[in-house]
Amino acid sequence: MARIPILKMGAFLLVTIQVDMHDRLALTLQDDLTTRIVADRAHGVLIDISSLDVVDSFIGRMISDISKMAQVLDAHTVVVGMQPAVAITLVELGLSLEGVRTALDVERGMELLRLQVSEG
Amino acid sequence: MNLSGKSQLAGILKKHEPEILADWTQSQLAASTLRSDLMTEAELREQSRQLLNALQRGAQEGQLNDVSGPQWQEARDLLTRISRSRAQQGYTPSETATFVFSLKQPLFARLRKEIGSDVTALADELWLTTTLLDRLALFTTERYQQSRDELIARQQRELLELSTPVVQLWNGVLALPLIGTLDSERTQVVMESLLEKIVATSAPLAIIDITGVPTVDTLVAQHLLKTVAAARLMGADCIISGIRPQIAQTIVHLGVDLADVVPKATLADAFAIALKRMGLAVARAGA
């Protein structure tokens, strides 16, 4: 089964979602990511969803859950590159992803992560 | 009663066309619904002549009690054209319908003269004619309404396109000055164009200025909050400026939670905050 690759960049983990998310894939990602955060002692996770065009309530919840789990594991999460259609869908679904930090692109997302980690 | 639709109407129309036309035009010119400011006498005469011709050709084929058939195509096209042009010229619906109704009097007078002795036949003919003209007048009014609806829909579309400009105040600062009442359809367009522009310019800050919005109800407040939430999900922050005193009162009375939104009194204040957040400052030249 296909997996979403998790790349290590210094103290951060980079996840780029470039395929259509389905529920199994999302659950696998959740599993892999939490394992990697602990294994690599990562302090930050950057999730790039700029290629994601379609989102449903499950995927929305998954993004929010991953962020909370990372927080419990002492890692900050930033979601970057959300498409307007996806943002509107999530808001209409009532999922405003409270507590999830967002940025426009990977560059700004990295900057935000560094800032957060240096603040503790 | 003669319900088959066969009638002497076609013959009478053909035989006495010039007289009927003369009577009809005269009564239209004398009527109080005449709009000499909108249409010349020659135009009116031409329209009347065309309709009378179409009527005669339609009646020749029979079927006076159904104007949806192919033999009435010419009359329908003509009436569509006339009601369309009158709707654009600013005629009222009743003035437009009166154009058809006013044909009744000269036509009835002619029928009475021709078959006056036979009361039953006259009653039948009158009934057929009046039904026919009523149907044609109804058709005219319907077309009039239709063209008005099209006009309104077009204007609405144009207004929608004109009223939602997203402007770039600075590199990385967008402004969305909202003017006029917000309904859900308009807010949808506003929301989409703002989010598209945020992606296109990768601006981390957007100022929504609602100085020009007269009233805010729960729905509008909800829409504004949704826009702010969607922008935040994409990684951009929103500042709302220009909230009027009445709107502030309404928002509090309605119990809308604006805790996530940064409010600023004026667009200038919002812009100052935006510059500050980007680490920029405005300084006097030469100082």
- B278 part of contact set with chain A, CB < 8 Å: no
Q: How much is the pLDDT for A12? A: 93
Q: Are residues B105 and B153 in the same domain?
A: yes
* Number of structural domains chain B divides into: 2
Domain boundary among B138, B160, B182: B160
Give A15's strand partners. Answer: A6, A47
Give domain status of residue B226, yes or no. yes
**Range in B63-77, B93-107, B226-240 the model is least confident about:** B63-77
CATH number at residue B97: 1.10.490
Residue type, B170: W
Instruction: Give yes or no for a contact between A118 and A88, defined as CB atoms under 8 angstroms apart.
Output: no
Measured distance CA(B30)–CA(B143) in Å, rounded: 26
Interface test with chain B among A86, A88, A111, by most B beta carbons within 10 Å: A88
Distance from CA of B164 to the nearest CA of A (A): 17
Give domain status of residue B231, yes or no. yes
User: What is the torsional sign of CA B39, B41, B46, B51?
Assistant: positive
How high is the ipTM of this complex?
0.82
Give domain status of residue B198, yes or no. yes
SS3 category, B235: coil
Q: Give the residue among B147, B132, B56 at the shortest CA–CA distance from B96.
A: B147
CB contact under 8 A, A88 and B230: yes
What's the average model confidence in pLDDT over B208-217? 86
Q: Are residues B36 and B82 in the same domain?
A: yes
Is residue B3 over pLDDT 80?
A: no
Q: How much is the pLDDT for B6? A: 55
CB contact under 8 A, B226 and A92: yes
CB contact under 8 A, B202 and A96: no
Count other C-beta atoms under 10 Å from residue B236's C-beta. Answer: 26
Q: How confident is the model at residue A104 (pLDDT cuts 50, 70, 90)?
A: very high
Nearest CA in chain A to B188: A88
**In terms of DSSP H, where are the helices of chain A?**
23-40, 57-72, 84-92, 106-119
**Higher-scoring residue by pLDDT: A39, B58:** A39
Is residue B198 over pLDDT 60?
A: yes
Q: Are residues B47 and B153 in the same domain?
A: yes
Q: What angle do CA A70, A74, A77 make, to 5 degrees?
A: 45
Provide, as residue numbers in chain A, all residues whose Cβ is less than 8 Å from the Cβ of B235: 79-82, 102-105, 108-109
CATH number at residue B254: 3.30.750.24
Q: Give the residue among B198, B130, B202 at the shortest CA–CA distance from B166.
A: B198
Distance from CA of A6 to the nearest CA of B (A): 22
CB contact under 8 A, A96 and B198: no
Domain boundary among B160, B182, B217: B160
Is residue B285 over pLDDT 70?
A: yes
Give domain status of residue B282, yes or no. no
CB contact under 8 A, B191 and A88: yes
Q: Are residues B22 and B151 in the same domain?
A: yes
Measured distance CA(A60)–CA(A34) in Å, rounded: 18
Tell me the residue range of the domain where B199 lies.
Answer: 167-277
Q: Give the residue among A7, A8, A24 at the shortest CA–CA distance from A16.
A: A7
Nearest to B236 among A86, A96, A104 (CB): A104
Give B209's strand partners. Answer: B177, B241
Domain boundary among B128, B160, B192: B160
Nearest CA in chain B to A49: B234
Q: Are residues B91 and B149 in the same domain?
A: yes
Is residue B56 over pLDDT 80?
A: yes
CB contact under 8 A, B192 and A103: no
Distance from CA of A97 to the nearest CA of B (A): 8
Q: Are residues B173 and B264 in the same domain?
A: yes
Nearest to A91 among B199, B204, B226 (CB): B226
Residue type, B256: V
Give domain status of residue B217, yes or no. yes
Average pLDDT, rounded, for chain B: 85
Instruction: Give yes or no for a contact between A24 and A1, defined as CB atoms under 8 angstroms apart.
Output: yes
- B230 part of contact set with chain A, CB < 8 Å: yes
Report long-range pairs for B25-32 (Cβ below 8 Å, ≥24 apart): B27/B102, B27/B105, B27/B106, B28/B99, B28/B102, B31/B98, B31/B102
Give domain status of residue B284, yes or no. no
Sequence ranges of the domains in chain A: 6-119
* Burial group, residue A104, by CB count within 10 angstroms (0-12, 13-18, 19+): buried
Q: Are residues B193 and B137 in the same domain?
A: no
Distance from CA of B192 to the nearest CA of A (A): 7
Q: Are residues B62 and B114 in the same domain?
A: yes
Q: How much is the pLDDT for A1? A: 66
Nearest to A87 among B195, B203, B204 (CB): B195
Which backbone phi and psi does B239 adopt, to 5 degrees? -120, 135
Q: How confident is the model at residue B70 (pLDDT cuts 50, 70, 90)?
A: confident
What's the average model confidence in pLDDT over A35-51? 93
Q: Give the residue among A10, A29, A12 at the shortest CA–CA distance from A21.
A: A29
Measured distance CA(B36)–CA(B34) in Å, rounded: 6
Q: Are residues B14 and B112 in the same domain?
A: yes
CB contact under 8 A, B192 and A87: no
- B257 part of contact set with chain A, CB < 8 Å: no
Write out the E strands in B41-130: none
CATH topology of domain A6-119: Transcription Regulator spoIIAA (3.30.750)
Nearest to A84 among B199, B226, B229 (CB): B199
Give A57-98 pLDDT, tens digit per residue.
Answer: 888 888 889 999 998 999 999 999 999 999 999 998 888 888
Nearest to B235 among A88, A96, A102 (CB): A102
Q: Are residues B34 and B137 in the same domain?
A: yes
Which backbone phi and psi does B198 adopt, to 5 degrees? -60, -40
Find where tokens 């939670």 sit: B257
Q: Are residues B51 and B133 in the same domain?
A: yes
* Chain A, chain B: beta-carbon pairs less than 8 Å apart: 58
Distance from CA of B266 to the nearest CA of A (A): 26
Which residues make Cβ contacts (< 8 Å) with residue B282, sequence separation at least 6? B272, B275
Distance from CA of B223 to the nearest CA of A (A): 10
Give B232-281 pLDDT, tens digit per residue.
Answer: 999 999 999 998 888 888 888 888 777 777 888 899 999 999 999 989 88
Q: Give the residue among B197, B196, B135, B155 at the shortest CA–CA distance from B172.
A: B197
Which backbone phi and psi does B264 adopt, to 5 degrees? -135, 150
What's the average model confidence in pLDDT over B70-76? 86
